[in-house]
Structure 1
Amino acid sequence: MRLGLHALGIGAGAEPEVIRAVAVAAERHGFATLWAGEHVVMVDKSDSEYPYSDDGKIAVPADADWIDPMIGLAFAASATTTIGLCTGVLLLPEHNPVIVAKQAASLDKISGGRFSLGIGIGWSREEFDALGVPFERRAARTADYVAAMRTIWRDDIASYAGEFVDFDAIRVNPKPRRRRIPVLCGGNSDAALRRVARWADGWYGFNLDPDDVAARVSMLREMCGHAGRDPGELRLAVALRDSRPSDVGRLAELGVDELVLAASPPQDPAAVADWVADLAADWQ
């Protein structure tokens, strides 16, 4: 079972010295990946329901620092040499896919092929409105964007014609190390799992209980069967609501590849090394 750490990008995790200290310590103590999420826009009062809490509200204050995950992970990449880097998640339909393809390939190149792109379709209508992007049909937009980006990563001269993106005979360099970047799709709903089964390279389940993970993995396998895909080819990563070391064995039996610990680092960079060491001692 691989162990990831989702601790970068928000609040103290947006401070450069904390990012560097977390990245260095996590790599030293054997964590497999570093994760950073995204919101471009937050609002003080939202009518949109946050799908990962019981009360429908996100716990992050609206005025918290929330660093761009591509920039934060690039900064972490410069301080490390082996640990994987993953967005968890980047809200793809809010962005231009040609630009994201270039950013992702650039991060993959400078990190030596360590980057995976975790994406979501978004849940905040207010955020989409502020960015001038239609909230409706964002799932279809996301699938179209992923197909377009994979074309850019693969082909020296890329052409693509879809419903939401269209380009002809363009060059977008650099290319990723393997001409492909793993795309993990976040979300716990049936619709999210259907996207994973149809076109993603993996799944990132967030804020789940172990029983929820079991039910979701079972559903995902069933959907893979309908889609004609081998579920064993998918990378399964989950962040639990209340993680305990005793959960690792059950997750492994379910076929989960990676348990991601979602935690907030200390404000003081000098305290980060011990914080990471304690996490590692508890889980490894």
Structure 2
Amino acid sequence: MRLGLHTLGIGTGARREIIDAVARQAETRGFRTLWCGEHVVMVDEPASPYPYTPDKKIAVPAAADWLDPTIALAFAAAATETIRLATGVLLLPEHNPVIMAKQAASLDRLCGGRLTLGVGVGWSREEFDALGVPFARRGARTDAYVEAMRALWRDEITTHRSEFVAFENIRVNPKPTAGRIPLVVGGNSDRALRRVVGWGDGWYGFNLDDVDAVADRIDTIDRLCLVDGRARDELDLAVALRNPDPADRNRLAALGIDELVLVESPPEDADAVPGWLDELTDRWEVEGAD
């Protein structure tokens, strides 16, 4: 089972020298994917509950630096050659889908087809309000944006109309390296898993309690695949656990999980990154490490 690293774009991981060091060293040590999340807006005292912790509060301080994930991953791409790059996750309904289709395709072309676009519907009403995007029906908006983006990546001249987006006879170039970009759905709810099976290329389950919680979500995915007539092995499944242990890897692999993502904060000093990653590599016995 592959190991990914969710460490870029926030706090210390938002600094150029740390991005360069982490990206290069993680690639050398055999990590499969570098993940980078997104929030455009943070507020000091949010009323919206955070869905990924028991106390419903996000651990990242509101004043922390939080880079745009496509820009952060562009710098990681420039520092590497083989490691995959993934947004984990990009809040798609907050973006114009035509612009996002172009940005994602541009990044994918520049990194040689290494991009996975992880997308989510978002949870912070305050963030949507600040951006002037309706919080209601953000899931339906996400579904429509995905359809529009895939059409733009696929067709040379594109016409598309839906409740949320419409354009006629437009060209958006470049196209992705392989003609499409894998779209992974973030989120742990049943609604998120319906999107995984309905149109996703995979799942990014985030901050799950333990392996038993993953097993419960996999049971739901299996049930939905049976209803939709979809083979589960078509999906690339990645999860991050709240307190992962190397002993979890065999059980996760038995569940069909393809990638365990380690959510870690990098050190303050770029010179300390190699030693920090050596410790992670040794503890997790990363395959392919030099």
Percentage identity across aligned positions? 65
Contiguous gaps of at least 5 residues in structure 1: none
Q: TM-score, normalising length from structure 1?
A: 0.99
Indicate whether 1:33 and 2:40 are aligned. no
Q: TM-score, normalising length from structure 2?
A: 0.97
SS in 2 for 1:61: coil
Which residue is 2:284 aligned to? 283
CA distance in 1, matches of 2:193, 2:6: 21
Q: Deviations over 1:132-155 (max 9, x none)?
A: 000000000000000000000001
Indicate whether 1:228 and 2:229 are aligned. yes
Q: CA RMSD in A?
A: 0.5
Indicate whether 1:15 and 2:20 are aligned. no
The structural deviation recorded for 1:231 is 1.0
Kept after mapping to 2: 8 A contact 1:25/1:277:
no
Q: Deviations over 1:155-191 (max 9, x none)?
A: 1111111110111111000000111100000000111
The within-5 A match list for 1:205-244 is 205-208=205-208, 209-244=210-245
The structural deviation recorded for 1:84 is 0.1
What is the number of equivalent residue pairs in this alignment? 284
Contiguous gaps of at least 5 residues in structure 2: 286-290
Which residue is 2:263 aligned to? 262
The within-5 A match list for 1:1-284 is 1-208=1-208, 209-284=210-285
Segment drifting more, 46-55 vs 274-283:
274-283
Q: Deviations over 1:183-213 (max 9, x none)?
A: 0000001111011111111000011111000
The structural deviation recorded for 1:229 is 1.1
Q: Deviations over 1:241-283 (max 9, x none)?
A: 1111100000000000000000000011110111111111111
CA distance in 1, matches of 2:82, 2:196: 27
Moved beyond 3 Å, runs of 4+ = none
SS in 2 for 1:88: strand
CA distance in 2, matches of 1:151, 1:276: 40
Q: Deviations over 1:42-77 (max 9, x none)?
A: 000111000000000000000000000000000000
Give the AA of the match of 2:250: G
SS in 2 for 1:211: helix
CA distance in 2, matches of 1:98, 1:225: 33
SS in 1 for 2:251: helix
